[in-house]
Amino acid sequence: MAAFHEAHPRVDLDFVAGSQDEICAQVLQGRLDLAVTYDLALPPGLQVTSLNAARPLLVLPADHRLADQEQVRLAEVIEEPMIVLDISPSRENTARIFRDAGLQPHVAFRTSDFEVTRSLVAKGLGYAILVQRPAGDLSYGGEPLAVKSSGEDVAPLGVIMVRNPQLRPSTAATALAAVVDRVARQDLWPG
């Protein structure tokens, strides 16, 4: 975005974050030029561009008995309480992962907020499955988290750009889409 702003300083940029439903609705209504999201639980009628992929991660408190392992399999924590980030597409992603693994989690808490989920994990109330990994691996309160790959247990999730195919994009929207496409691909495959 910094790169786009330098190249196009007179274009006003507004940023909106929200659940899959909210964001996709705004794209379909023409209120957003584009959105970057996950390839899951999408409504019909969107133009989808694949950007990269992310592998969901297992988030544990830093003092968890398995925190020193490089990988933690889902089966190793399945008897423990889980905290679900219960908004789309995290809800569908979590359900998909356990369905694929043939496992049934013990859901202890549901939240609608990414950082509340991380804070509950840091307090030792359960584990969580999250895709985004903020730098630092700390909760907002400063408690450390152990963020682990589950290896082949968890399939990657596509990261995509969605636009409205019914609308002719403005010059600015086309330029922004090109920057998003370039930056998002670099992010995953540098060099």
- What tokens appear for 64 in the block? 């968890």
| Residue 86 CB, nearest approach to a second copy (Å) | 8
Choose which of 140, 151, 174, 188 interacts with a second copy (CB under 8 A).
140
Choose which of 113, 156, 174, 186 interacts with a second copy (CB under 8 A).
113
Residue in 70, 48, 50 with CA at minimum distance from that of residue 58: 70
Distances from the Cα of 34 to the Cαs of 4, 52, 160, in angstroms?
14, 16, 10
Exposed, middle or buried, 136 (CB in 10 Å: 0-12/13-18/19+)? Answer: exposed
Choose which of 45, 63, 106, 115 interacts with a second copy (CB under 8 A).
115
Q: How many residues sit close enough to a second copy to count as binding (CB under 8 A)?
A: 30
Site for a second copy in 34-73 (CB under 8 A): none
Residue in 127, 43, 39 with CA at minimum distance from that of residue 80: 127
Q: 52 or 69: whose CB is closer to a second copy?
A: 52
Contact footprint for a second copy (CB under 8 A)? 1-2, 5, 13-18, 109-113, 115-116, 120, 123-125, 132, 134-136, 138-143
